[in-house]
Amino acid sequence: MSDVSRYLPLSQRSRHDESDVSGDWSQRLSVVLGSLTVLLDDLTPDEQTLVRDTVGRLVWRLRANRRARLGAKLRRREPLSMSDDQSAVLRSIAAGSGRRRPVADLASAVLATLEVASATQRAVELDAVSLGAVAVARALSAPLPIRAVLGTTTLVAADGEWSVGRGTQRRANGADIVLFLYGRTGLPPALG
């Protein structure tokens, strides 16, 4: 039996308990939002002004229901939340509402956190599993130019146990890979 057939449905792969597998990313989202609020609390007023729109879009996305998100996409713009204390709002969202969160919400939070860290030249630590989940989700739906790169290059996270793509391996930081996959930066620099 070929190695690939082990991963096909109804294959002869070894069985193990998968009862804890879930599509709910709310716990990982809470951790990322916690990191973002710590980052926001350390910013100067000028830096807070610089990242206000990024955080406002995230707050709006995490508060909006599916119908509101669809309506905003149809109008080609997202209304911004200009709350005075966005950190407090993010903390309340992180505390949870019992609402299941898809990987798209996690992706929005990861991207906003990385963008705030980049804009303010601050370091932020994000969980390798969260970065990997966001990267894999994006690799499956990325625009053609990014999929073309992933067709010839495997981006391997140097700070996690995940990779995306196929072809020649290129080791890079997980955060840099995610930013590339979402079109925020160019191909991440290779690490030795």
Confidence of residue 1 (pLDDT cuts 50, 70, 90): very low
% of the chain at pLDDT higher than 70? 78
Buried b (16+ CB within 10 A) or exposed e, 126-148: beeebbbbbbebbbeebeeebee
Q: Mean pLDDT across the stretch 56-77?
A: 72
pTM for this entry: 0.81
Q: Is the pLDDT of residue 8 over 70?
A: no
Q: What is the mean pLDDT of residues 148-168?
A: 94
Question: Is residue 108 predicted with pLDDT exceeding 90?
Answer: yes
CA gap 65, 48 in Å, rounded: 26
Instruction: Supply the mean pLDDT for the chain.
Output: 84
